[in-house]
Copies of this chain bind each other. A is one copy, B any other.
Amino acid sequence: MPGQKPIKVALLGCGTVGTEVVRLLTDQAADLTARVGAPVELAGIAVRKPNKHREVPAELLTTDVDGLVESDVDVVVEVVGGIEPARTWLLKALHGGKSVVTANKALLAEHSGELFQAADSTGADLYFEAAVAGAIPLLRPLRESLAGDRITRVMGIVNGTTNFILSGMDSTGASYSETLEEATRLGYAEADPTADVDGFDAASKAAILASLAFHSRVTAADVHREGIASVSAADIAAAKGLGRTVKLLAICERVTSAGGESISVRVHPAMIPRTHPLAGVNGAFNAVFVEADAAGEMMFYGRGAGGAPTASAVLGDLVAVARNRVVSGRGPRESAYAALPVRPMGQAPTRYHISLDVADRPGVLSQVAAVFAEHDVSIAAVRQEGRVDDASLVIVTHAATDAALRSTVDKIGGLPVVREVVSVMRVEGEET
C-alpha cells in the first residue's frame, strides 16, 4: 500500500514481551502492511533505562512516556504491567483518541470500566487478548465468536507456574515446597512467587473472563481466591487414588436460582477426572474449557506465557486496531449490560472430596453420614478401607453450597471418631 498513511505505534515497556513485539514488527513489516492495508510504524519505545536495551533501535528509545503518548501516534501498546502508572498512561492515550493494546491483566481486572469509558468517549479501541492465556486466542472468541450464544461456564488452567508445580507434584509425589523450589530453580517460578501461587494472577484473569462471558463488570476483588500453597502430597495421592488429578482452576459460572441469575467466579485447586480434557494439560501450558447453550463444549489450548507467545497475541490485536483505523471502523466496546451480581463463595454450588482417618469400629460411617445429612449435603460416593488400627474413609459429595460443605467438614473434624482430616478438596469437571 504505497502512499497509505502509516499507522504509528507507541510501545510502552520493552522487557521480554516488548522486545518480541519489536522483533515481530520489524521481521514481518511487509506482511503486516499487506494485512493491515497500511504500513505499521514503530514511533517510539518508552523505557526507564534506555542504555539497557541494546537489542532495539536506540533512536526509538525514550524515557518521556507522556510525551510519547501525547505525540501523533495512532496506537499505544502497553506491556509494562502493574496498575500505576500504566492506568494513567492508558487513560491519557484513550482520552487522546489513541487505540490501546495491552497485556495488563491486573489493570484490566481492576479498571476495565474506566478504561472502556475513556475509549468510548473518543471512539478508540481497547484490545487485550494477551492479558489472559498468552497466545491462545480466547478473549476474541468469547467477545465475538460466541456473541450470539449464551455462555454458561468458563473453566480453565490460566497460570503456568502453578500448573507446572501441580503437574510436578502429581508425577513425583513430592511436597509443595520441594516442587516450588525446583520450579524456581528452573525459572518456572519467580523469586517471589506470591502472585502465582496465591492465585492473584489467575484471579485477575478470571475477572476478565467472567466480564466477557457474562456481559457484566467483574473485578479481581469479586473473585474468591485460594492458592496452591496448602495443597499437600496427601491431597495429590488422594486424587490419584480416585482417578483424578489436582489443578488450580479459574472458574466462571452462570448460576440460575429462584432469585434470578448470578455469577460464581473463583480460583481454587480442585480435583478433576483424569479423563477430563483439562487433566492432560501439563507444565507451562494453559487451556480453557468453555460451555455455551448452543455451541456446547469447547476447549482452547496453547502456551499461556512467554515473550513470543504473548507478543503474538499483542500483534494480533495491533493488526485489528490498525485495520480499524484504516477503514474508520472500531472493534467491540464494553458489553456489561447484563450486570449480573456476583454470588458470595458461600453460596456457590460446588462438590467436596473429603478423606478422613477414622477409628476402625462399627458406627463410624453412620456418625459421619449423620453430619452430612444435618447440613443437607447429599453423599455421592463413599469408600472405606480398614488398616491395622484405624481406617480411611473417603467421601465425595453431590453439589451443595460451599458454606454447607465447609460447615460439614468443620463439624466432622471435631468428631471423636475422626483421627485426622487428611484431605479436603473441591471436585470439578464431572456430572453431579
What residues make up the interface of A, taking CB atoms closer than 8 Å to B? 20, 24, 28, 31-32, 34-35, 129, 135-137, 140-141, 144-150, 215, 277, 280, 292-303, 306, 308-309, 311-320, 323-324, 327-330, 332, 335, 337-338
Distance, CA A323 to CA B324, complexed state (A): 13
Residues of B within 8 A of A315 (CB): 147-149, 294
A303 pairs with B295, CB closer than 8 A? yes
Distance, CA A18 to CA B280, complexed state (A): 36
Q: Which of B141, B306, B312, B338 contacts A146 (CB 8 A)?
A: B312
Distance, CA A28 to CA B337, complexed state (A): 14
Q: How many copies of the polypeptide does the oligomer hold?
A: 2
B146 pairs with A335, CB closer than 8 A? no
CB within 8 Å for A312 and B149 given contacts A140-B140, A295-B135, A320-B144: yes
A316 pairs with B34, CB closer than 8 A? no
Q: Which of B215, B301, B323 contacts A34 (CB 8 A)?
A: B215
Residues of B within 8 A of A302 (CB): 295-299
Expressed in whole angstroms, the minimum distance between the Cβ of A30 and any Cβ of chain B is: 9
B145 pairs with A137, CB closer than 8 A? yes
Residues of B within 8 A of A311 (CB): 294
Closest to A30 in B: B337
Residues of B within 8 A of A141 (CB): 137, 140-141
Residues of B within 8 A of A144 (CB): 137, 140, 316, 319-320
B31 pairs with A150, CB closer than 8 A? yes
Distance, CA A330 to CA B325, complexed state (A): 11
Distance, CA A13 to CA B308, complexed state (A): 44
Interface centre among A292, A312, A323 (most CB of B within 10 A): A312
Top 8 closest pairs, chain A to chain B, by CB = A329-B329, A148-B315, A137-B145, A137-B141, A298-B302, A135-B295, A294-B312, A295-B312
CB within 8 Å for A35 and B312 given contacts A302-B295, A302-B298, A303-B295: no
Closest to A21 in B: B148
Distance, CA A317 to CA B141, complexed state (A): 11
Residues of B within 8 A of A299 (CB): 299-302
Expressed in whole angstroms, the minimum distance between the Cβ of A279 and any Cβ of chain B is: 11
Expressed in whole angstroms, the minimum distance between the Cβ of A251 and any Cβ of chain B is: 19
Q: Which of B32, B149, B295, B308 contacts A295 (CB 8 A)?
A: B308
